[in-house]
Amino acid sequence: MAKEIERKFLVKGDAWRELATGTAYRQGYLSTVKERTVRVRTIDDKGFLTVKGITIGATRVEYEYEIPAADANAMLDDLCEQPIIEKHRYKIDHGGLVWEIDEFGGVNQGLIVAEVELESEAQSFDKPQWIGDEIDNDPRYYNSNLIAHPYTKW
């Protein structure tokens, strides 16, 4: 069983932009119930299917599998809840960890979130100067919730 331990923050300012280039992501959800989410995603020319369990603290189980990009695109267009999440992901090394910054587009335009994966919930880490408020426990920022309640409508 795979476990994901991550912390999520809002991003402040634009200093981070000089540190990385972005990759386009499209993602959608086949299931967004609290106990499990089933996500379909494309990154460049690859497709992925991901199943995640309920988050307890900063930890949850996660299973991810590569699938044909054509299948992923068909699921995004025909099966997933709408609207699809559109974003650019940037990866930045800082303090021995990789920070992932998601800059959302479409109905979530204006939202920029950073997350970092950890080895344990107790792991200490250095926050870059462009990291703002922590949002781990605010469900409004879960990608699966941004479908029903887009950022531009808050």
Whether the Cβ atoms of residue 5 and residue 32 lie closer than 8 Å to each other: no
For the chain, give the number of residues. 154
Closest to 86 in 3D by CA, of 42, 21, 133, 135: 42
Closest to 147 in 3D by CA, of 69, 37, 35: 37
**How many CB atoms lie under 10 A from the CB of residue 119?**
8
29 in catalytic set: yes
Pick the catalytic residue from 29, 63, 90, 141. Answer: 29
Tokens of residue 7, six digits? 């912390």
Tokens of residue 144, six digits? 């699966």
Give ∠ CA 61-26-29 in degrees, rounded to 5.
50
Active site residues: 29
